[in-house]
A and B are shown apart, each in its own frame.
Chain A
Amino acid sequence: MGFFKDLLSKLKFNPFARKSHVKLGLYGPPNGGKSTLANRICQDWLGEEMSTVSHIAHETREIKIKEQVNIKNKKGKELTFSLVDTPGIATRIDYEDFLKRGMKKKQAKERAKEATKGVIDSIKWLDEMECVVVVLDSTQDPYSQVNITIIGNLQARNIPVLIVANKVDLKKSNIDVIKAAFPQYEVVGVSAKYGKNVEDFYEMLFKVAK
């Protein structure tokens, strides 16, 4: 049997592989660390970056896709997915917030406009997703309506969800609050920035993305 499996995988036809090409979306409110996690995944498995990261919200204003990301787990299972980094979902965008970050008025207004388009695209793309990782900043209160709306919409579409409680390297991080808020979902605490606990995240992906 093992011989067969090896042979088949060499022939690029492996009926034992769980799923060949999953569209995996990264969702969540701005600044949770979606792009940082996207980069972590791409660094770990492709050796390259994918998105730019910034402490200023709405750095990602367009959907970014990385095709053919292949990950393996300890048991040798493989999962190939298209990784989709989204701008995320927000209900408010104020160009004056960008002014406060030192942008010129014209630039700030342009960025706000792009950011609104990014949110619209993120919502439109929901239907395309086959699995979604909701990235939350674990130093923040998870009981926000945006989080409920995102997860509720995924639930209504029967899309499997994995919740990442990001930024566990920070003192204020609290995974338990997130677990209590979403008891029926898998929650995994990581630090996307420093690579802490990402192994568990990959294992959990295999479990959820079936």
Chain B
Amino acid sequence: MVTFQFIPFQEIENLGSAKRVNKLLNIVKENKIVLMEGRLKKQEEADLIEITMEEISPKFKGIELSVVYPNKSKQDFGQKVKGTFANLLLGDRQGMTIIGPASVVKRIEQNPNKIELFTKEAKTPPAKRYRKKK
């Protein structure tokens, strides 16, 4: 089972960069997948990776990050970097950010209208076998 936690933009809107990043990372460290409305600033994405690296341990193996940009096709990837006029007006509220713990999410793939989360196969305990009575 995987758990998603939704973060509306207003929950991070008025936080400073450090608080934003820590808030998100703390959720991920509880083994939950963050579904955040909107996007982080570019520098905050870098900060998120930096702080993730500081926290890596044999238990916490990092994150998988994916940013969904508003009405952009995969081919229009360049615009994602540049930012459009609409983005200037609406700020970082548009789009969506997905952050999952690396131990749960192997890979996130984005196709224009489809987001695929490749999760690690949950390690279920081996099925109980009936033991023969001695």
Contacts and interface: CB of A to CB of B under 8 A. Distances in A.
Interface string A175-188: 00000111111000
Interface residues of B, number: 28
B58 A148 contact: no
Interface residues of A, number: 33
Contacts of B67: 145, 148
Interface stretch (B2-10, B12-20, B38-46, B123-131): B38-46
Contacts of B53: 93, 116-117, 119-120
Contact of B62 (A94, A124, A181): A94
Interface in B35-90: 42-43, 45-46, 49-50, 52-54, 56, 58, 61-67, 74-75, 77-78, 80-82
Given A126-B46, A180-B75, A151 B58 contact: no
Given A89-B49, A91-B65, A120-B50, A149 B42 contact: yes
- The list of the 7 closest CB pairs from A to B, nearest first, reads A92-B62, A92-B102, A116-B53, A183-B78, A156-B42, A152-B42, A94-B61
Given A148-B80, A148-B81, A155-B42, 16 more contacts: A89-B49, A91-B63, A92-B102, A116-B53, A117-B53, A119-B49, A119-B50, A120-B50, A143-B77, A148-B77, A149-B49, A152-B80, A155-B81, A181-B77, A182-B77, A184-B82
Interface of A: 89-95, 109, 112-113, 116-117, 119-120, 123-124, 126, 143, 145-146, 148-149, 151-153, 155-156, 180-185
